[in-house]
A and B are shown apart, each in its own frame.
Chain A
Amino acid sequence: MRLLLHQLRNEQRLYWRSRELAFFTFLFPVVIFVLLGSVYGNDKISKEHLKGSHYLLAGMLGYGLASTAFAGLAIVLVIRRESAVMKRLRGTPLPAWAYIAAMLISTIAVFAIEVVVLIVLANVLFDVPFPTQIFSLVLALTLGACAFAAMGIGLTTVIRSAEGSSAVVNAIYLPLAFIAGSFWSPHAYPRFLEVIANVLPLTYFIRMVRDIVLRDAQIWNEGTAVAVVAAWGAVGLLVALRRFRWEPQDV
């Protein structure tokens, strides 16, 4: 437990001190939210009977999730693996579980701060009312963070080099966020995009969060979304458990 706290403190220090990473994974979703919100925040999303900015909040929470828990985590893990930082840690008495747990908790903490910033910004800039179903929201966000972190760790097993990690991760999560409707409503999508969107976990996560934040739904009314997100997370976890490596692969 002492080791976990020790390592957690270190992970937080590392995250916030790495400016590039903190910018791209933490600040970027906030910037995009302000930009897009200013562009179409007052438009009506007619089919949903919602203001654009209200609609956008859930999408941005999803984008923040993909960027902190999935992209940021995967990139950091690959860089640490390839630079033998993880190999060196394996040579100390620090247990593997404490390391993984510290990474996960640290990631969830960053995402939690991101969520608070986005919700407060939405309220201040675009008059989006504060969510009322806090319990369901916290559960949904935690489920999402665990599932996307598992997928992020799973993804590291197919990336062979530190140089490629940023490129590969961006090539996956940016289109993912586009198609899942992080930035706009996916209702006008052509058929093939709609088909893709309907299997992506982020689509379901955003839908679930939107229902909870804007329509006061409870998480137990979102069975399909919970199941899809959890299933993707389980796949990521399975890949991670089978193929995760502590040592550099690019040799």
Chain B
Amino acid sequence: MPAAVTVTDLRKSYGPLEAVRGVSFEIEQGEVFGLLGPNGAGKTTTVEVLEGYRKRDGGSVSVLGADPQVAGADWRERIGIVLQSSAMYPNLTVLEHVALFAGYFSQPRDVDEVIGLVGLVEKRDARVKSLSGGQKRRLDLALGLIGDPEILFLDEPTTGFDPAARRAAWDMIRSLRELGKTVLLTTHYLDEAEQLSDRVAVLRAGRIVAIGKPTELTGRKVATEIRYRENGREVVVETYEPTKALHELTAAAVARGVELDDLQVRKPTLEEIYLALTETADE
């Protein structure tokens, strides 16, 4: 089965700013792929090249077997896009929006089915201006899904959500996998990428600094920290052999008959690993 998306050495600059500096990755069909990185890392630029909004400066890109730069309406029938911004027509209802977009595609999904899928049945006849931020975002998702696309681009789907709304959105995105959709998701939340993606690429300053399954990224060998206080001074020991180090440390302390104040053993959190990946000094 050919890959849904193939990106090789993609480059894109805005004037002197190199937003994307040689990015390569593949997305398999049916895979949920996360592009993770801080703001300004080049996530949106990369996605917008794949969506056909931007012309690349270098490299090659194939989405569903076509070059997005020249692909036409037939290709657009097969992709779904959910942009970052969520302003639509304030005076149209949820149903009118979904029906309007359904009309743009030759073989759309059922309008009511899609409204149900994103959980807006009760808001079906409400005008968009009366919806909450989270509800508008769900309508966005409905508009991305209505054409029954083979691949769906989700640009920061939960930015600005409260925790409950995020959970609900995650459940919805997981349900897309059951529909067999290929999904490219961008996010600057590590937990989101970890929860939703089969594979994640971490982007920093226009380059991929790590790529793999979320467990591979967060499960890579990292130093364990041992902290304690000695004579009022904090001591930090970083070690790849925490059992041995701790044994030696405590054995020595017991032998000397002293107490190690505030003794702690901890592994770095996912957040810290992510920050370490994305904050490494520029080479």
A139 cross-chain contacts in B, Cβ below 8 A: none
Given the interface pairs A91-B51, A93-B77, the reply to whether A84 lies near B92 with Cβ below 8 Å is no
Please tell me if A90 contacts chain B, counting CB pairs below 8 Å: yes
0/1 interface trace, chain B 144-158, chain A, CB 8 Å (1 if under): 000100000000000
Given the interface pairs A13-B96, A88-B81, A90-B53, the reply to whether A3 lies near B89 with Cβ below 8 Å is no
Q: Do A92 and B85 touch across chains, with their CB atoms under 8 A apart?
A: no
For window 69-111 of B, CB contacts with A under 8 Å fall at: 73-74, 76-77, 79, 81, 83, 85, 87-89, 91-92, 96, 100-101, 103-106
Please tell me if B143 contacts chain A, counting CB pairs below 8 Å: yes
B101 cross-chain contacts in A, Cβ below 8 A: 92
0/1 interface trace, chain B 238-277, chain A, CB 8 Å (1 if under): 0000000000000000000000000000000000000000
A248 cross-chain contacts in B, Cβ below 8 A: 85
B76 cross-chain contacts in A, Cβ below 8 A: 91-93
B79 cross-chain contacts in A, Cβ below 8 A: 91
Interface size in chain B (residues, C-beta < 8 A): 25
Give the distance to chain A from B183, nearest Cβ to Cβ, in Å. 16
Given the interface pairs A17-B92, A83-B85, A88-B83, the reply to whether A93 lies near B103 with Cβ below 8 Å is no
Q: Do B73 and A95 touch across chains, with their CB atoms under 8 A apart?
A: yes
Given the interface pairs A14-B89, A85-B88, A87-B53, the reply to whether A94 lies near B83 with Cβ below 8 Å is no
Which of these, A17, A83, A93, A95, contacts B91 with CB under 8 Å? A17
Give the distance to chain B from A83, nearest Cβ to Cβ, in Å. 4
Q: Which residue of B lies closest to A79 (CB)?
A: B87
Q: Do B103 and A6 touch across chains, with their CB atoms under 8 A apart?
A: yes
A interface, how many residues as a size bin?
A: 20 to 34
Please tell me if A211 contacts chain B, counting CB pairs below 8 Å: no
Q: Do B92 and A13 touch across chains, with their CB atoms under 8 A apart?
A: yes
Q: Do A84 and B83 touch across chains, with their CB atoms under 8 A apart?
A: yes
A93 and B102 CA atoms in complex are apart in Å by 10
Q: Do A83 and B96 touch across chains, with their CB atoms under 8 A apart?
A: no
Give the distance to chain B from A73, nearest Cβ to Cβ, in Å. 16
Give the distance to chain A from B76, nearest Cβ to Cβ, in Å. 4
Please tell me if A216 contacts chain B, counting CB pairs below 8 Å: no
Q: Which residue of B lies closest to A19 (CB)?
A: B91
B96 cross-chain contacts in A, Cβ below 8 A: 13
Please tell me if A18 contacts chain B, counting CB pairs below 8 Å: yes
A7 and B100 CA atoms in complex are apart in Å by 8
For window 118-148 of B, CB contacts with A under 8 Å fall at: 143, 147
Give the distance to chain B from A166, nearest Cβ to Cβ, in Å. 16
For window 195-251 of A, CB contacts with B under 8 Å fall at: 247-248
Given the interface pairs A18-B91, A87-B53, the reply to whether A94 lies near B104 with Cβ below 8 Å is yes
Given the interface pairs A13-B96, A14-B92, A17-B91, the reply to whether A87 lies near B104 with Cβ below 8 Å is no
A6 and B143 CA atoms in complex are apart in Å by 16
Q: Which residue of B lies closest to A162 (CB)?
A: B87
B51 cross-chain contacts in A, Cβ below 8 A: 91
A14 and B128 CA atoms in complex are apart in Å by 13
Q: Do A3 and B88 touch across chains, with their CB atoms under 8 A apart?
A: no
A7 cross-chain contacts in B, Cβ below 8 A: 103
Give the distance to chain A from B78, nearest Cβ to Cβ, in Å. 9
Please tell me if A10 contacts chain B, counting CB pairs below 8 Å: yes
A13 and B95 CA atoms in complex are apart in Å by 14
Q: Which residue of A lies closest to B80 (CB)?
A: A91
A202 and B73 CA atoms in complex are apart in Å by 39
A135 and B229 CA atoms in complex are apart in Å by 96
A17 cross-chain contacts in B, Cβ below 8 A: 91-92
Which of these, A3, A83, A85, contacts B104 with CB under 8 Å? A3
A13 and B97 CA atoms in complex are apart in Å by 12
B53 cross-chain contacts in A, Cβ below 8 A: 87, 90-91, 247
Q: Do B87 and A92 touch across chains, with their CB atoms under 8 A apart?
A: no
Q: Do B87 and A83 touch across chains, with their CB atoms under 8 A apart?
A: yes
The 10 closest A-B pairs by CB, nearest first: A83-B87, A91-B81, A93-B73, A6-B103, A17-B91, A92-B104, A93-B76, A84-B85, A94-B104, A93-B77
* CB-defined A-B contacts under 8 Å, sample of 15: A6-B100, A17-B91, A17-B92, A84-B85, A87-B53, A88-B88, A91-B52, A92-B76, A92-B147, A93-B76, A93-B105, A93-B147, A94-B104, A247-B53, A248-B85
Given A84-B83, A90-B53, A93-B106, 10 additional A-B pairs, CB 8 A: A13-B92, A14-B91, A14-B92, A91-B52, A91-B83, A92-B76, A93-B77, A93-B104, A93-B105, A95-B73
Chain B positions within 8 Å of A, measured between CB atoms, are 51-53, 73-74, 76-77, 79, 81, 83, 85, 87-89, 91-92, 96, 100-101, 103-106, 143, 147
